[in-house]
Amino acid sequence: MQKTTARLADGREILYYDTGDETSEGAPGRAAAVDRRELDPVVSASEVRYDPLLGEHVAIASHRQGRTYHPPADSCPLCPTTDAWRSEIPAADYEVVVFENRFPSLSGANGRCEVVCFTSDHHASFAELGEERAALVLAAWTDRTAELSARPGVAQVYCFENRGAEIGVTLAHPHGQVYAFPFVAPRTATMLRTAAAHRAATGRNLFEDVLAEERAGARVVLAGEHWTAYVPYAARWPYEVHLHPHRRTADLTGLDPAARAEFPAVYLELLRRFDRIFGPDASPTPYISAWHQAPVTGAGREEFALHLELFTVRRASGRLKYLAGTESGMGAFMNDVSPESAADRLREVASR
């Protein structure tokens, strides 16, 4: 991987990731590409507040009301810069690029938000990438996890992709984000508590026990030599898959070379199956792809297991699962699709 670092007109950092090693000529002109826009400095009013009833943190970011919203394709801020349009990416082309979000939910002492563009092709999707590009994205996620984890005040790094208007995506260009939280996310905190209780009761690791049970069951969707994807027993979403490396590690930086090498083929197959769930005439499946990583420090870090959660809010063709009163009001999920039938369908739509 070749990494090139530069600055945008308002001082934000931008990083280009290209195939090849650092001595190769795989990224011509990246550092020389200058952002010639006249931009005011980023003014972020984000703050983090603590909810004493739930014991959780909430980010308040009212400045995000003015962020870019569904621009036309020829004004996309994530496409490369051209003679007719100056975007967030000064270079005329790129493979994978990461930059600080101009409208961050978290900033300064309250964390950091970055945008990850998977390809310069505005009309592509992650599922349409080749394995080499998917491997480069994994390398970028890993690099950002390592670098952001070392920043003062960062408690956890979260890499994710929101795909589709139904999810709430405001930019159609294929991209994801990386959040550096100044706190441990609520879902992670809950898993840490249950893992600690399981260790105290059994002397074993909770994640390893769950993975072993699922690998022996009927809800496995896809299994490789180093990864297994399954629909969890108590899935909350209509189609929800958890992807685990067989060798437990706290975060992306701990993946071994064999797991890294196998990941692109496994992940791309999962994404392509998701696009086939609802038949050939359905629009691309909206989804959220979320990397669960351990907190940067703390006693629970050794107990945690890196895994990816992939799910869609679409429950049938043309029908969405909305978070109704039980989910939104009480956090009690009701799933309309049985996990076993979801696993059956995801096996049916495997690539031939």
pLDDT tens digits, one per residue of 7-17 = 999 999 999 99
Q: What is the CATH number of domain 2-181?
A: 3.30.428.10
Q: To which residue do tokens 């983090």 refer?
A: 48
Distance between CA atoms of residues 40 and 44, nearest Å: 12
Helix and strand counts by DSSP (H, E) for the chain? 6, 15
CATH 3.30.428.10 domain extents, the chain:
2-181, 186-348
Please state the φ and ψ torsions of residue 111, each to the nearest 5 degrees. Answer: 115, -160
Q: What pLDDT is recorded for position 28?
A: 63
Please say whether the beta carbons of 288 and 159 come within 8 A: no
Residue 157 — left, alpha, or beta (φ > 0 → left; ψ -120 to 50 → alpha)?
beta
Nearest alpha-carbon partner for 342 in 322, 314, 307: 314
Catalytic residue selected from 57, 173, 175, 292: 175
pLDDT tens digits, one per residue of 301-330 = 999 999 999 999 999 999 999 999 999 999
Angle at which helices 186-202 and 206-215 pack, to 10 degrees?
Answer: 90
Q: What pLDDT is recorded for position 41?
A: 82
Predicted TM-score of the model (pTM): 0.95
Please say whether the beta carbons of 31 and 106 come within 8 A: no
* The architecture CATH gives domain 186-348: 2-Layer Sandwich (3.30)
In the annotation, is 175 catalytic?
yes
pLDDT tens digits, one per residue of 203-248 = 999 999 999 999 999 999 999 999 999 999 999 999 999 999 999 9
- Helix extents (H) in 51-185: 131-149
